[in-house]
Structure 1
């Protein structure tokens, strides 16, 4: 299967030991084949960079849907998304990231706000995380000996990349990616 970012590229940025992959037993509850293949073959970073994997993902103990998501959905009656097949992937900042295991869509669940779609697929999420880390020396003063001097240009490059690869990820002005890009532009000085 072809993904936007492969295992070798992810290892080059995050390191092999930091990538969480799952076996077929752990993936049994995920109906969306491309999501299953990505989590089996490529993986997501554990706790490095912008993303922190949920412990259930790290343990290979994904819980799909169930009563907790039904209670959560009841708190957001106007939300148009079917949460019955969601599982938690982890988070960025204080926001949780979940995936619809039937469709492969990735959603952001901001604390106390309505969920919104973040990425059209798990590989586009991973591609964006990879791009953020690869670009880090240009926006993070702690990641570069010369200091980050291209933070605004870095944010512009990342936004252009996001628009090309998964335009829906940045078309919503409430998308968490806009907050991430603001932090990049400000050299993480927010």
Structure 2
């Protein structure tokens, strides 16, 4: 699987890799997201607030520019992951969220300067997404646990994960898998198509940002403590997202 290399200019690049199981080359890392790409996949639901609506506590300039310029997907299918609008207090400072939730016996260890951390969304049934306003990193608070774990190196990474999962929905569909299953010239069956889709998605996401993966992109759902995105990849690989 691709491992990051750091050339002299300090930028992270990725070596050539192969999607597990299907032999397709990934000699080039995924391109950076653009507003046009996000709008195409999410035509009715992009969180792209004006600069003045982004909380001033989000001080990391590249993060502010990405949110205002490219934007974050509002949600992926089935509301498996949701990003709130920041207007009208939609992005709560972490201390406010803590006060609200601790009544339900759910607390976590606060970081330094928690007033500059903001709750921006959810991964359904698993936990909360939080931005560190100083670094732009995205943290994850698992439901009913006390951790505050690094999930994404940037908001762009979070957006890319949501974008890639939603973009390839047709490849997870029952109709697509059935068409290949019935093709006498294609040896794959439906189960193989779904598994291939999960593996290809896993490899692409890992190449963009390996941070959410417990180990590497090869069958990430087999790990204990697999992380919040792995359950989606597992469901895709099992055909649970087929429509």
Greater helix share, 1 or 2? Answer: 1
Task: Check if 1:90 corresponds to 2:117.
Answer: no
Matched position secondary structure for 2:93? coil
Residue 90 of structure 1: how far off its partner (Å): 1.0
Residue 43 of structure 1 pairs with residue 71 of structure 2: yes
Matched ranges for 1:74-85 at <5 A: 75-77=107-109, 81-82=111-112, 84=114, 85=116
Q: Normalised by the size of structure 1, how large is the TM-score?
A: 0.80
Structural mapping, 1:19-34, within 5 Å: 19-27=46-54, 28-34=56-62
1:147/1:140 CA distance change after superposition, 3 Å = farther
Q: Give the secondary-structure state (helix, strand or coil) at the position aligned to 1:75.
A: coil
SS in 1 for 2:91: coil
Residue in structure 2 matching 1:14, options 29, 42, 47: 42
| TM-score of the superposed pair, with normalisation by structure 2 | 0.65
SS of the aligned residue for 2:33 comes to coil
Q: Is the 8 A contact 2:76 2:166 kept in 1?
A: no
* CA apart distance, 1:53: 2.1
Aligned equivalent of 2:83, options 53, 65, 69? 53
Shift of 1:25: 1.6
Q: Distance in 2 between matches of 1:90 and 1:68?
A: 12
Structure (1 or 2) with the larger CA radius of gyration: 2
- In 1: Cα distance, 2:75 partner to 2:124 partner: 12
Q: Distance in 1 between the 2:108 and 2:135 partners? A: 20
Aligned ranges 1:38-187 → 2 under 5 Å: 38-49=66-77, 50-54=80-84, 56-57=85-86, 59=88, 61-69=90-98, 75-77=107-109, 81-82=111-112, 84=114, 85-94=116-125, 95-113=127-145, 114-141=147-174, 146=179, 149=190, 150-171=193-214, 173-187=225-239
User: Unpaired runs of 5+ in structure 1?
Assistant: none
* Number of residue equivalences: 184
- Classify the secondary structure of the residue corresponding to 2:162: helix
Distance 1:125 1:157 in 2: 18
Structure 1 residue 112: deviation in Å? 0.6
The verdict on how the C-alpha distance between 1:145 and 1:102 changes in structure 2, with shifts beyond 3 A counting, is: farther
Tell me the distance in 1 between the aligned counterparts of 2:89 and 2:71: 12
Q: CA deviation at 1:64?
A: 2.9
Q: Work out the CA distance in 2 between the residues paired with 1:157 and 1:108.
A: 24
1:63-119 Cα shifts (integer Å, max 9, x gaps): 334344478799334x8x547122111112122211111111112222112332221
Distance 2:37 2:197 in 1: 19
Give the aligned CA root-mean-square deviation in angstroms. Answer: 3.1
